Structure 1
Amino acid sequence: MGVAAMNGVYEGLKSFYIEEDETLAVNAYGKSKVAAEQFISANCANFAILRSSIIYGPQTILPITKSLPIQWIDKVLSEGETVDFFHDEFRCPVYVKDVVTIILALSKSWILDGKQMQLLLNMGGPDRVSRVQMAETVASIRGYNTSLIKHVSASSVNRGVQSPADISMNINRLVQTLDFTPTSFEDGVRRTLQSINSS
């Protein structure tokens, strides 16, 4: 069985996509994910495809050099300078330990229980948030001045590639399939920031 995490497959013109919604990726990254899904579905008898959102959480045991989302927000706000955040780009960030729990549960079901599966699941977090709301959550927990968070439109920045405005996902099927309670964004951020304090 393969467990593959994919994202960016939706066009971003609505909220809370369900798994049956048409995939109309708006950039090469998303199109590559759709192609991977199609290949897995056509060639594997046993699989779980997980459509992820922004994955956040504590730094890994062996630190990675890539900037992690909550750690980056915490750093820039702690410096006391005004920072631009998009108010009109929405995601359902998923706590990394939930991702691990989901993959372990699916692997156990296949390895220990011997269950065959052909699953396609949205694997976002339970909360739809903008980049501004992500920053405001960090600021609230840390006690930073929220006036440092400048609200800007995603269209005001040329990132060289089109980005979907809203790829928030309905995760009801995931919750029902695994009898799983996802971590709220606020709780996940709080745990992430606690890990920074203790490191």
Structure 2
Amino acid sequence: MEGEERKRVLVVGGSGYLGQHLLAALASPGGGGGGVDVDVAFTHHSEAAPRQLLDALPRLRAFRVDLRSGDGLEDIAASFGQPHVIVNCAAISVPRACEMDPAAAMATNIPSSLVNWSLSFGNSKSLLIHLSTDQVYEGVKSFYKEEDETLPVNMYGKSKVASEKFITENCPNYAILRSSIIYGPQTISPVAKSLPIQWMDGVLSQRQQVDFFNDEYRCPVYVKDMVDVILALTKKWLSDGKTIQVLLNVGGPDRVSRLQMAESVADVRGYSHSIIKSVPASSVNRGVASPSDISMDITRLTQMLGIQPITFQDGVRATLDAESSS
């Protein structure tokens, strides 16, 4: 019977930071939400999937996929089947890298091969949960709402606006999550990129003065809250299968500058604020335009899913506690 079919979740870009945290949650008993066990697969772009991840979560299926060409997607269809939920975490998300190679940013960040593959099954069984960014906003006011105009100031933001447009025009069921900076503990298989709280802790622990921007505002979101949002949407889709077409801001409750982020780390660790130097963002040329205030209003998120992301201070404490116990 149809109702007895095992539900399948595919995490695209599962070897990345958010991807690994999500896989760990999905692979736990009842990880599909509401006590539902799900079959979980993920894609990776590198030659081999991270060994530590596969050892820690042996039930996972790994597939090598080139998102630009779609190579590898047919292997998933053949041996895993059509996923009920596809979570797209794959992107070129370093703004400077997008600026230097706009063609690659567009080709990777607009998931055309993935969407076309999901449509090739010829039914509406799949929900696409797609990670977008707060950088779609221009950054000239505080607490942007989902319906505000998107006027990105850099190529990364432009590629994500284009991806949102592609998805809303082509997918019967989607949830687009405009995420702020995602922070939290390190992953099972450590990622190469620098993690914001750990980096701040590392430089502040040297007790040397460090510059932090005082005029760029974000709503950083704790990784486990981000995972909970994805799991809540997954559960909603798997339980009632009603059409989902939603766009959500996903940030934490606090609008903070890099300076305030560093001060929170200092407060949790007991470092002196005197080593934190307040500077304007214009003091550094990063080779890419950066929006100044892209803080987000998360009312729609809390109303729709009943999720209240934790405060930045609590998230910093949880992150540093996890690091010291690992």
What is the TM-score normalised by the length of structure 1? Answer: 0.99
Q: Structure 1: how far apart are the matches of 2:203 and 2:242?
A: 46
Partner of 1:55: 182
One-letter code aligned to 1:47: Y
The higher relative CO (CA closer than 8 Å, separation ≥ 6) is in 1
Q: Hey, what does 2:297 align to over in structure 1?
A: 170
Of the three residues 86, 92, 104, the one matched with 2:213 is 86
Match of 1:110 among 234, 237, 240: 237
Please state how far the C-alpha of 1:113 moved relative to its aligned partner: 2.0
Q: Post-superposition, which runs of at least 4 consecutive aligned residues in structure 1 deviate over 6 A? A: none
SS of residue in 2 equivalent to 1:195: helix
Q: Give the superposed CA RMSD.
A: 0.6
Q: Does residue 26 of the first structure (1) align with residue 153 of the second (2)?
A: yes
Partner SS, residue 241 of structure 2:
coil
AA aligned to 2:304 is T
Pick the structure with greater CA Rg: 2
Structure 1 SS opposite 2:148? coil
In the alignment, the residues of structure 2 paired with residue 84 and residue 111 of structure 1 have an alpha-carbon distance, to the nearest angstrom, of 47
- Match for residue 202 of structure 2? 75
CA apart distance, 1:50: 0.3
What stretches of structure 1 of length at least 5 have no aligned partner? none
- In the alignment, what sits opposite 1:40? 167
Structure 2 residue identity aligned to 1:170: D
Q: Give 3-state SS (helix, strand or coil) of 1:72's partner.
A: helix
Cα distance in 1 for residues equivalent to 2:234 and 2:167: 17
State the shift of 1:115 in Å: 2.2
Q: Distance between the aligned counterparts of 1:47 and 1:65, measured in 2?
A: 30
Cα deviation for residue 111 of structure 1 reads 1.4
CA distance in 2, matches of 1:115, 1:146: 51
| Residue in 2 that maps onto 1:5 | 131
Q: Which amino acid in the other structure matches residue 80 of structure 1?
A: R
Within 2, Cα distance between the matches of 1:86 and 1:158?
Answer: 12
Aligned-residue offset at 1:196: 1.1
Aligned partner letter, 1:3: I
One-letter identity of the residue aligned with 1:63: P
The letter of the residue matching 1:164 is: P
Query: Tell me, which stretches of 5 or more residues in structure 2 are unaligned?
Result: 1-126
Distance 2:224 2:178 in 1: 16
Is 1:158 the counterpart of 2:285? The answer is yes
1:55 is displaced (CA, Å) by 0.2
CA offsets per residue over residues 39-65 of structure 1, 9 Å max, x none?
000000100000000000000111111
Amino acid at match of 1:4: H
- Supply the AA of the counterpart residue of 1:37: E
Superposed CA offset, 1:80-114 (max 9, x none): 11100000000000000000000000011111221
Judge which range, 109-118 or 168-177, deviates more: 109-118
Q: Amino acid of the residue matched to residue 289 of structure 2?
A: Q
Deviations 1:104-139 (A, max 9, x none): 000111112212110000001100000000000000
Alignment pair present for 1:192 and 2:314: no
Cα separation, 2, equivalents of 1:161 and 1:197: 34
The residue type equivalent to 2:159 in the other structure is S
SS of the counterpart of 1:150?
Answer: strand
2:270 is aligned to 143
How many positions carry a matched residue from both structures? 199
Q: Percent identity?
A: 67
2:131 aligned counterpart, secondary structure: strand
> Deviation at 1:180?
1.2
